[in-house]
A and B are shown apart, each in its own frame.
Chain A
Amino acid sequence: MSRLTKLISLAALLVAPSMATAAEVNVVSWGGAYTESQKLGYGDPYQEMSGVQVNWIDYSGGLSEIKAQVESGAITWDIIDVYARDTIIGCDEGLFVEFDFDNDFPAGVNGMKASDDFFAPMPSDCAVGNILYSWNYAYNTDNINFDGNYPDSMEDFFNPDKYPGVRSIYSSAMSNLEFALVADGVPASEVYDYMEDNGIDRALDKLTDLCTNPKGGCIFWSAGAQPPEQLVSGEAIMATGWNGRHFNAIVNEGSPMKMVWDGQILDYEYFVLVKGGPNQEEAMKALQYFTSSEGLAGSAKHIAYAPFRISSLDVIMADEPWFYSEQAGAVEIMPHMPTAPANTENYVLMNPEWYADNNTEINDAWEAWKANL
């Protein structure tokens, strides 16, 4: 054997094992502090445990990209973090794998079978629960002089005469319609009953009052990291947003912000498995770990979103202060959860069915409203 062939075979031997473990799973999520919490909470631990590389990809929601991948036959995504509405639409369109829930997902550490351990039934057969999060609003305590009289209700957000300044709101209808109706006096628990009955127009009128008031005005955010940025930069005096992002800005970045929980919208977030993804089998295994009791509890170590499993809360409570970051040290996380009793005195529970069914009308009305503002 010549020296060269020896070298080549040696190289081949060295390369072979690393190639065998080169399995990858591509997980798509919302970026920023949230993806970071998922990566630290269960992505990295799973990678270490299984040797499967977990890649995190950012997106800003919606099904268009995966739909385009499926249509062109070049699917690169395995797991997607989606709104409930999109699990329903995508499942109906056959984009995602349908689960056999109790067989596909492990029981909780408390011994409860998966379907009982998750807080709520899944909105579609393709969804597996991930977190409960909240849409609420926050303000900058430094930038604006409220004379010690800080906003504490949803009415205050919609009252530019009392608290003048620009508001930053989500760029889609979701959350804005609910907030507007609550501010207009609709009981939080009945918001969606009103929607059927001229509620969209009523909500849009309320938003028009806010956005066209010379003392108010609206700007729109589309990525979760934007609201805290806009509050800190002074571009907006109040901003709706996701509680975990506000929490991150307050705790980790020391931003002088405060959240208002009145009229918050509790919403669920889900994982789906792409049908025909590049690594469907590995992805399924990864997903099982991500959504296990420890997995979901893991992400709550890094962000103030409540895990979807009851047993994950047990894991957290047994070990408070659970949250940890370099900047803030250890923090008790339960009081900051969107589900904490103090935060749920007056809340709306998101109705994804309503959005999935009426998607077109809601969006047409919303986009026309926005363009004619």
Chain B
Amino acid sequence: MNKTLETPPAKPKKSKTVRKLRRFFRVLFARKLVILCTVILVIMALAAVFASFVAPFNPYSQNLGNSLSPANSTNILGTDMLGRDVFSRIVYGTRVSFSVGIVSVAFSGLVGMVLGVVSGVAGGVVDSFIMRVMDAMLAIPLIILAMFLGAVFGQGLGNVMLAVGIAMIPSYARLTRGQVLTIREMDYVTAGTIFGASKLRNAVSHIVPNCIAPNIVLMTMNLGGAILAEANLSFLGLGINPPTASWGAMVSDGFMFLSMHPVIAIAPGIFILLIVLCFNIVGDAVRDALDPRLRGTF
């Protein structure tokens, strides 16, 4: 084929957002493992929503005559000490894990971002005070802090969400404050201040949008951690109230019968491992897809 000196017509360009989104999903699902984990999470989420259809038995109906039965064709993972079907309880446990994970992460993300923006925009005494409180919270190990807050609020689903949620606030507040300070140094925000935009308007219009991406990344990456925190609390008997099916509490209940019926304790743990693993892997992938520069930060 002979070429000529004429330049070929330029290819039509797609709109920027469409390209950005396509790039995001292309990078996000570039690895098969990430697709697999997403599929597992979707299945688990569906099981949580439709638990009453998926679970073969009522997770609360006791049958003391059939307690601690080994796995068989009726009870595929056997029954616990109260004769409840272990598999059905695992299915219902998905609800607790998902709801605690999502609610506490959303709560901590939201509150942490607000605190971070206030801290960064206001500066001065407000900033020092908020950041010292955050430092104080960070000085207490997460499990201990959640345990401590859990002891204050008492047991129950809502209280566990709150305890885990509060315990995770500092990382978002710090991250957001850092972002605000960086953005505040940039020229366009300075220009805004010169032309008389108020601090608040400045914060809302320039700073907040720039803080969202890294916070979303941190939130996705913390989902697994929040679920793990709930499991830990419930295992220690400081989390979800007893009849409710929680994987952590199930492992704890099964511990007593470990030598005779290991399945009761071990099976729920596999699900904790699986859900946390999947959330962590997807979280990493979201980070890489949204902003690879954040790789070192988290």
Q: Do chains A and B stick together as partners?
A: no
